[in-house]
């Protein structure tokens, strides 16, 4: 069923064996700092809850809190360790490739995903950089095709991100001018 005489399928450019560009090396640290903030917030809320429960009048509540404590501490420890270590595992597995006609982004450790956005479907691009990102000299590039919410590549160096944005914008314009896109 899947035949196309004009273009033999084997000659189609494959999106499998690509030279993936890694993200900026500082991105791991940036994610870890973000995770640390989250761990601290959860820790503060948790200990506040514990002290509220034990300092209250109800003895039953205090006993329940004490019984809960080992479980809560284990869960918190696991959460903290995984959140702090995760970026070191996840970031090396992310990457992007810019081709002539599209941009690809891979991500995920267990659930791996490779997403391709053709330039002739991109409506506009966006560069953003939060407080933490800026401290680490990083920026995120988003490309927006029609309809969907857009696709974001996080953790690029500021210069790389700007170069990429300019390149993508040029490609979009080139695709728009290309007579192949007219009917």
Partner 1 sequence: MKPSEPADWRRISPFAVVFFVGKTTRNLVRGYVQLVATFGALAVLIRGTPYAALLIPLALLVIVAIAGLRFWSFRFRIEEDRIVIRQGILKRTSVDLPFHRIQGINVERNPVDRLLGLVTVSLDTAGSETTEGELPCVSRELAEELRRRIGFGDQGRSDERPGVAEGTVPGVPDIDRDRARRKGDRAPGRVLLRLSAGDMFRIGLGRDNILFAMMLIAAAWRRPRELPYRLAETFGFSEDLVRPALETAEATLARTDALGEGTFTGGIVLSALAAVVAVGVGTAFLRYFRFTLWREGTAYRSRGGLLTQNEVVVETAKVQQLTLSQDMLLRMLHRFRLRMHPAADADASEHHDVPRVLEVPLLEAPLAQEMRASVFGEEGEGPILLPKSDDFRTVSPLYIQALALRLAVVPAMAGAILLLPVTGLTKVWATFAGTWAAIWIVCGGLTALQRWRRQGYVYGNDGMAGRSGFVGRRVDAFLYRKAQSVALKRSPIERRNGLATLEVELASDTVTVPYIDQGVARRLRDYILYTVEASRRRWH
Q: Name which of 110, 132, 126 is nearest 38 in CA terms.
A: 132
CB atoms within 10 A of CB 101: 13
Q: From the list 21, 120, 160, 169, which residue makes contact with partner 1 (rule: CB under 8 A)? A: 120
Of the residues 55, 82, 123, 163, which one makes contact with partner 1 according to CB under 8 A: 123
- What is each CA distance from 82 to 67, 93, 99, 122, in whole angstroms? 24, 16, 34, 36
List of residues 6+ apart from 53 with CB closer than 8 A: 61, 62, 64, 65
Q: Using CB under 8 A, which of 3, 59, 60, 131 touches partner 1?
A: 3
59 vs 180, beta carbon nearer partner 1? 180
| Residue with tokens 């479907």, as numbered in its chain | 121
Q: Does 77 bind partner 1 (CB under 8 A)?
A: no
Q: Which of 119, 108, 177, 107 is nearest to 144 (CA)?
A: 119
| Binding segment (CB under 8 A) for partner 1, from list 24-32, 84-92, 102-110, 131-139 | 102-110
Shortest Å distance, C-beta 85 to partner 1: 19
- Of the candidates 9, 59, 60, 131, which one interacts with partner 1 according to CB under 8 A? 9
Residues forming contacts to partner 1 in the complex (CB under 8 A) are 1-4, 7, 9, 12-16, 67-68, 71, 101-102, 108, 110-118, 120-121, 123-124, 144-151, 180-183
């Amino acid at each position: 069923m899947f035949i196309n005489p004009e273009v033999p399928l084997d000659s189609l450019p494959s999106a499998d064996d690509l030279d993936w560009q890694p993200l900026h090396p500082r991105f791991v640290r940036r994610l870890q700092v973000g995770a640390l903030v989250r761990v601290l917030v959860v820790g503060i809320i948790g200990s506040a809850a514990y002290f509220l429960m034990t300092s209250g009048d109800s003895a039953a509540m205090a006993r329940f809190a004490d019984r809960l404590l080992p479980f809560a501490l284990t869960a918190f420890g696991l959460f903290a360790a995984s959140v702090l270590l995760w970026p070191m595992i996840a970031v090396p597995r992310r990457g992007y490739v810019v081709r002539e006609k599209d941009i690809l982004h891979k991500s995920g450790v267990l659930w791996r995903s490779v997403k391709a956005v053709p330039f002739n479907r991109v409506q506009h691009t966006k560069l953003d950089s939060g407080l933490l990102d800026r401290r680490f000299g990083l920026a995120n590039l988003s490309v927006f095709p029609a309809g969907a919410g857009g696709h974001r590549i996080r953790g690029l160096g500021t210069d790389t991100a700007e170069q990429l944005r300019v390149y993508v914008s040029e490609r979009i314009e080139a695709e728009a001018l290309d007579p192949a896109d007219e009917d």
